[in-house]
Each structure stands twice: as C-alpha cells, then as structure tokens.
Structure 1
C-alpha cells in the first residue's frame, strides 16, 4: 500500500513521467538552435573599402545583423517555439514543427539574399560611414554567411527531429477545466436544495 501511494504521489495527474520528460530535450534542442542562429548573425559577414574625401580609404565591415536581419528574427521565432513546447499537445506540436521549419527557411533565404546582393548591402553601409556609396574595393564575404547557411539547414533538420520527438507528447489535460465545468452545476443545485428545505419547514415538515 505504501509503495502504491508513493508511485501515484510522485506523478503529476494526466501526464506520465516519461512523456513529461520528453519535452525537455525538445526545448533544449530549440534553445541550442536559437543560440546558434543568433550567434551566426553577430560577426562580420561582408568586408570592403569605401572612399572618403577626408579620410581616404575607409574599411567597410557589414555584420550579419545588418546584411540579413531575418536571421535574428528567426532566432527569436525559435525561442518562441521553445516556450510553446511546454504548452501544446499532440495536435499543437505540428504548429511548433511548422514554426521551426519556417525559421530555418527564413535563415536560408536571408543568407542567400545577403550573398546575392552583397555589393548593394556593402554600398549602403559605405554610404552610412562616408556619405559616398561607391566602393573602392570588391566585396569579400567572410566564412560566417556560409556558417549561417549550415545553421539554417540545421534548423530545418531540427524541425524534422522535433516532429519525431513530439510523437509521445500527451494531449492537454482537462484537470483544470473539469472543476470549473462542475462548479456552475453545483452552484445551481445548492440553492434549489436550500429552497426545498425552507419550503418543507414552512409546511411543518422536517426536511432531515
């Protein structure tokens, strides 16, 4: 009897320990992907040289946050998906999977766009530094845009892995809603019982 009570006392109602623990690895996976995605956008992605009448040649360094702001937005989306892992059930998990896949697609599209229009992005950065958009040297991408492509592919892979990991997630429990549904009924029944008791007393009957 003691071991039986202990076993039930340790488990949360409506969620088996194994299934509850299955959300932890999923959340850690999304946290890791969000961190990698954000970190890949921080360093310099593009290098060039601008021309200034006062200073001559001016180095133009464009970070990933400037060249591909969508990468940072994707990191925020992944963090939101991580928070949702503790709230959704079997049906809602597909929404989380779709959001993670969308984040990966955003990273890839933003990075490809930055590499494709690297000259235009560098010219805009040069104009902000020197007031002249003309570049004095070709644009040289660093390794970080390519690293971001790898991270974007990892985000897509994370969405597929999350779809597999979330198969054991339980449906949302109704333990919070059931009492609320029963209380109005009880509230309606109790006044009826009291009224019936008073009616019995006025008739001279003993309701007990």
Structure 2
C-alpha cells in the first residue's frame, strides 16, 4: 500500500477512520444534547389523567405530569444532556465512559416511560392522593402521547450513543498541544545556552575580555590599583 492509499485508509492526521453519520465530534455532541433536551421536554406535560370524588366535590380532575409519574425520566434526561456536554471536552478514554452513561440513561428513560404505558394506574392513584387526598378513581385513566414520545427518545439516545461510538475513532484531539518544538541544531535555547557548545555566549560570561566585575573594580580602585591593568 503506497503512502497516499495509507493516508486515505487511516484518515486525516493518521487517525483511524470513523463510521456512520457522527464521525464529527460536534455533530455527535449536538445530537446527544438535543435528544436529552427533548426527552426532558416530554416529561413536563401531563402524562395521565383521571378523576376522583371527595366529600366536598363530586368530581375532581387529576392530572399527573411525567416528572411525577416517572421521576427517573427527568434525571435520565439531565444525565444525557450532561453526557453530551462531556463529549465536547472528553479525551480518548473519557469519551467512551460518557457514551456508555448516555446509553444507560437513555435506556432508563425508555424503561420508565414504558412502565407507565403498561400500567398507568399506580401513577394516577399517586397523583389522586397528592391532589385530593383520596385514592379511589372514579373514571378510567387516560394516557397522553407524551410517554410514547419519551420512550422513543430514550431508544433514540441509545442509538445516538452507538453511532457516536462508531464515529469516535475519527474524532480529533479536544485541543491543541502547546508543546515547545525541539530547537534546531546550532541555535540557542531560551536560557541563552549554545546547544552546540553547551556554554553561554561569550558576551554573557563574567570572565570575557573587557568585562569587569563592579565589586572587584571598586575594591581595586580603593587599593589604588588600576583594575584593567591585568586584563
């Protein structure tokens, strides 16, 4: 395989090629954050509704939101969003941890929504107790479309995490490395040392010709001698 083919095979900058539509880190980050935000949005509206009867009112409407019917959904959605943000700055190892956390949080959101869909009565009963102080429901429990959307978004979070994992090998470094380049042979280093000789330039050496230590010169003058006589 020649150099051009090898470069094409390994990807830009020598990185292994990623697969799928999320080969760009920014696209993966925004996809995860968007799914998490939408999941959180679907947990706010009313999921189940019913009615109860009390001693003061024959009919009391009961509406239970998703955050009350399935508290784990809101927490899982926030974890997905946080995982997406972490992907923006995660290194080679941390990105895999973040993707696993996103997938698990998405699965939790989907499972919590599915539990309400399969049996909404416990959520409605809990809501009736909190609203009217009674648990005897007087009408069938109606389930809105929101838990269905939450379940689908939870599955979508798992799929996005899998696609991001497939494309992660092509992601670049999170930031440039500010490393000092090696000095070229024959050039001076930052401390003024000549790399070829290993010594400081003659102009900076205290014993260079024409250079006098101020203290020694003053002492010589105090003794009445010429400090430059021995130079």
Q: Which residue of 2 aligns with 1:45?
A: 47
Are the equivalent residues in 1 in contact too, given 2:52–2:62 (CA < 8 A)? Answer: yes
| Change in CA separation of 1:38 and 1:172 when aligned onto 2, cut-off 3 Å | closer
Are the equivalent residues in 2 in contact too, given 1:104–1:152 (CA < 8 A)? Answer: yes
| Change in CA separation of 1:91 and 1:57 when aligned onto 2, cut-off 3 Å | same
Q: Which residue of 2 aligns with 1:126?
A: 128
Are the equivalent residues in 1 in contact too, given 2:106–2:155 (CA < 8 A)? Answer: yes
Q: Which residue of 1 aligns with 2:62?
A: 60
Deviation at 1:163, TM superposition (A): 0.7
Alignment of 1:44-123 (within 5 A): 44-123=46-125
Matching residue within 135, 138, 141 for 1:136: 138
Return the alpha-carbon distance in structure 1 between the equivalents of residues 68 and 47 of structure 2: 9
The TM-score, its normalising length taken from structure 1, stands at 0.71
1:165 to 2:153 alignment: no
CA RMSD of aligned residues (A): 3.0
Q: Which structure is larger by alpha-carbon Rg, 1 or 2? A: 2
Aligned length: 174
| Change in CA separation of 1:24 and 1:56 when aligned onto 2, cut-off 3 Å | same
Where in structure 2 are there 5+ consecutive unaligned residues? 1-12, 181-189, 192-198, 200-204, 212-231
CA deviation string 1:115-154 (max 9, x = no partner) = 3442122112111221111111122212221121111111
1:146 to 2:148 alignment: yes
Are the equivalent residues in 2 in contact too, given 1:90–1:169 (CA < 8 A)? Answer: no
The TM-score, its normalising length taken from structure 2, stands at 0.65
Where in structure 1 are there 5+ consecutive unaligned residues? 1-13, 180-185, 188-192, 194-199
| Change in CA separation of 1:174 and 1:27 when aligned onto 2, cut-off 3 Å | closer
Return the alpha-carbon distance in structure 2 between the equivalents of residues 85 and 131 of structure 1: 45
Counterpart of 1:48 in 2: which secondary structure?
Answer: strand
Where is the helix percentage greater, Structure 1 or Structure 2? 1
